Structure 1
Amino acid sequence: MALRVYDDKIGGTLVERKYPNAYFINDGDIREYVTHLKPPYGEGFYHEICFENVHIGFGNVSLKNKVLLYFEADFDSVEMHFSLKGRSAALSDNFGYKVCFDSYQHNIIYAHQMSGQMEFDGHEMQILEINLAPAFFTKFLPEDSDVFNTFRNAIEKQHSCLINPHHNRISLEMYQILNDIIHCERKGIFKRIYLEAKVAELLLLQLEQLFKSESSSSLLKKDEEKIYAVRDFIINNLDQNCSLVDLAHQVGTNEFTLKKGFKELFGTTVFNFWNDTKMEQAKKMLLEGDLNINEISDIIGYKNPRHFSAAFKRKYNLIPSKLRNTNGITH
């Protein structure tokens, strides 16, 4: 199994990997690689983790200009692709058409010994892709769906394709799992067990979303992007206190569009999401950090620790000090 990514114009190889047998055969090891992107392309990293049947890759890069690269792969793979930020496209003779991803989109791709070119167009690019051995992946496919049966037949005939011609939106549940994978700090066999569970959970959400055949969004593309911008603002500014009008005006929309669109995209209200995100962050700091409860309360925007404790109890049915005293048993 080998992969090569190179720049035909400059003549340099960026990535060249001969992946270990652990991708298909269980040798008990997890292999990890980190590739750093350097000028003239931009700056950033791409982190790879591989073990039996699974290869996980995620990265975050800042590009100065549009980047065109070429790739060659001598193996078959089913890829769970998540485009978190930025715009990318891949063109290969296997497909016969350009496969494009924009921010917040995901899909499942079967690739048979692909070669071609990739374009990256976006100041900040953030992706996560999980490659599964085809025989391993097909074990999870339900048999009572035309969509899944068509995809299974394509894998058997080694015809590269997308499981769905239209990309789906990344849900809040998916975002949480993607974040868990990216920030996993476990080691050895415990890391593998954890990541295997997260990959299975993520695949479940993708297949469920496909099976439900959700109707397309009623939002305009420009409004959808603004609502994702509000989500990103909330995640990065947990200590802020903004009204719905403030948030709407910040991204150039109105209160009605924000309320309706956020509920449609994420299945919850703006402030329920904000509160849940605060509580999840607080829980993580309580279990994994050394900050006291007053400090955590302040970081997530509660000036009164008693108000924070009350909100935390409503969410998890126990007070913050009790969670910390259990030493992570409830995590």
Structure 2
Amino acid sequence: KHLFYELYHVPEAIRLRYCRLKVLEILLFLGTLPAGMAQDRPFLTRRQSDTVKAVQKELRRNLCRHQTIEELAAAYGMAPTTLKRCFKDMCGTTIYQYQREARMAEAMRQLAGTDDSILHIANGVGYENSSKFAEAFKKTTGLLPKDYRKVAGRQHP
């Protein structure tokens, strides 16, 4: 605030030179910031941010449905490349990775908290067969679903 306050109270005769001095002062100040603060931070419009939030909600709500980026982009009125960029900027992950993590989180919750069969859980989170599900689950957690269930304290007969 103190950097700009004087700009409104400087006599017209020296205003241009004073502005140049202020620009140099701002540049000097920005040069003293820690490196982490100088990172480029993505800027998303309100519409883009709202769209990404809606896509996240859609992906979590429909875990068993396979949706392409093109389908999501069309449904939310955004170009596929723009949707991918905005999603990655806001979430720090790709749409595919987000969807996979949401599926695995729900599968982990169900494995730990229900006696549902592994195939039933796999189908509920978008996998047609238990072997593909087990492969993806192990890649994510380091454990097979049956082993995770044992570790989580619920063993299915």
Q: How far off is 1:224 after superposition?
A: 1.6
The match for 2:73 among 236, 248, 264 is: 248
Which residues in structure 2 correspond to 1:1-331 (within 5 Å)? 217-328=42-153
Distance in 2 between residues matched to 1:261 and 1:327, nearest whole Å:
36
Q: How far off is 1:247 after superposition?
A: 0.8
Deviations 1:63-83 (A, max 9, x none): xxxxxxxxxxxxxxxxxxxxx
Distance in 2 between residues matched to 1:326 and 1:264, nearest whole Å:
35
* Structure 1 equivalent of residue 23 of structure 2: none
* Structure 1 equivalent of residue 22 of structure 2: none
Compute the TM-score of the two structures, normalised by the length of structure 2.
0.70
Q: How many residues align?
A: 119
SS at match of 1:306: helix
CA RMSD of aligned residues (A): 1.9
Q: Residues 225 and 322 (structure 1 numbering): CA distance in 2 closer, same or farther, change over 3 Å?
A: same
Q: How far off is 1:216 after superposition?
A: 5.4
Distance in 2 between residues matched to 1:236 and 1:290, nearest whole Å:
22
SS at match of 1:278: helix
Poorly superposed stretches of 4+, deviation over 3 Å: 211-217
More helix by share: 2
Deviations 1:221-240 (A, max 9, x none): 21221111101100101000
Q: How far off is 1:218 after superposition?
A: 2.3
* Higher normalized contact order (CA 8 Å, seq sep 6+, divided by chain length): 2
Distance in 2 between residues matched to 1:258 and 1:244, nearest whole Å:
8
More strand by share: 1
> Which of structures 1 and 2 has the bigger CA Rg?
2
% same residue: 28
Q: How far off is 1:325 after superposition?
A: 1.9
